[in-house]
Amino acid sequence: MIKPKISYINYGMGFTLSEHGKAIEIQLNKNLKKYPKLRKQVLAHEFLHWNSRGWFDDFKIDFYDLFNFKKGREQLSFCIKHPKSLLANSPVFFENGEFIPNWFMVGFWGLISITLITGGLLII
């Protein structure tokens, strides 16, 4: 296995960048350096993506992570102190002059929208 290259950015939480379906780099929010415990958890999560075998694996990794409430609480307090990290929940990123879709969040927000719309229709 190749050792991941880790770089620091000033938004989001953590991302695993891939090229042609192969992970090439892990990006972490630079402010995580101040929170070693959370940084370790975010990195552990990105390592799972690093070793994932495709979008379904990635989806499962992110889905199960939604139920890691302890980490969720730490992430929330981090997000409040560093609002730019909330971009991790955005369905799209803007990087190097191009828009990169975040498919998990596209699905996540899509599901919420569908639930709200169909829920709204049921009330009507």
102 makes contact with Zn ion (CB under 5 A): no
**Paired sense of beta strands 6-9 and 22-29, if any:** parallel
DSSP-based three-state secondary structure for 94: strand
62 makes contact with Zn ion (CB under 5 A): yes
Read off the tokens for 18: 């891939």
Dmax over Cα atoms in the chain, in whole Å? 55
**Which residue has the CB atom at the shortest distance from Zn ion?**
62
- Binding-site size, Zn ion (CB under 5 A): 1
Kindly state the smallest distance separating residue 88's Cβ from Zn ion, in Å.
9
Kindly state the smallest distance separating residue 123's Cβ from Zn ion, in Å.
34
Query: 7 or 116, CB closer to Zn ion?
Result: 7
The helix-helix angle for 36-50 and 55-65 (nearest 10°) equals 150
Q: Which residues bind Zn ion (CB under 5 A)?
A: 62
